[in-house]
Chains A and B, each alone.
Chain A
Amino acid sequence: DTVLTQSPALAVSPGERVTISCRASESVSTGMHWYQQKPGQQPKLLIYGASNLESGVPARFSGSGSGTDFTLTIDPVEADDTATYFCQQSWNEYTFGAGTKLELK
């Protein structure tokens, strides 16, 4: 299976720019997708196909990357963005990263 590695946690101040990384153990082309999960809620799709913004998601969110290295960017960060962010691929089975917990200072 393709292993997705994410940094465990980040802390930023409102108004700043934050990048969340996801590295795949093998190439997944542009088949990387990003989700936001707030405590006690189900995951919500943010980005599909590495860089496509899901309908209804604020333009503050963007995604980039291909192959093995991907980033989710939030610019500017707002207080409501406190959540855990997961990357996911299905190029080789279906796997998720362990999640990056974003906290606001």
Chain B
Amino acid sequence: EVQLVESGGGLVQPGRSMKLSCAASGFTFNNYDMAWVCQAPKKGLEWVATISYDGSSTYYRDSVKGRFTISRDNAKSTLYLQMDSLRSEDTATYYCARQVGYTTDSYYFDYWGQGVMVTVSS
């Protein structure tokens, strides 16, 4: 059974940092691209970042470029999101998701973790 379990969320002050982790099990982690998707309270879903199966390529939404870093440790089957210079608008539930290619130009997320809340407030 595929499982994705996030950890590391909580309350953080604006301008500070936080690191999220996602422990994966039930599949061969290093065969899949992985992603972070967030959802602000009572809002829709927003893709945050993607990392290739081997960690060689990373992609970010514009609003987090230069502030967030996605990484992975395939030996530990764990995905990370380092969030620096946090802003109030980063407040959201962050989901770890397994990414699958439908075609070479189209991707979707077939498994999601339960999510971890990050609140940026003074």
Contacts and interface: CB of A to CB of B under 8 A. Distances in A.
Classify the interface of chain B: helix, strand, loop or mixed.
strand
A17 B40 CA distance: 31
Given A28-B106, A49-B102, A43 B44 contact: no
A94 B107 contact: yes
Interface string B29-66: 00000010100000011110010000000000100000
B106 A96 contact: no
A91 B45 contact: no
A7 interface: no
A82 B70 CA distance: 34
- Interface size grouping (class) on chain B: 20 to 34
Interface stretch (B10-18, B20-28, B76-84, B109-117): B109-117
Given A86-B45, A96-B47, A98-B44, A31 B110 contact: no
A10 B63 CA distance: 32
19 contacts: A28-B106, A29-B103, A29-B106, A33-B102, A33-B108, A42-B112, A43-B37, A43-B45, A45-B108, A45-B110, A48-B100, A49-B106, A54-B110, A89-B106, A90-B105, A90-B108, A91-B105, A91-B106, A99-B44
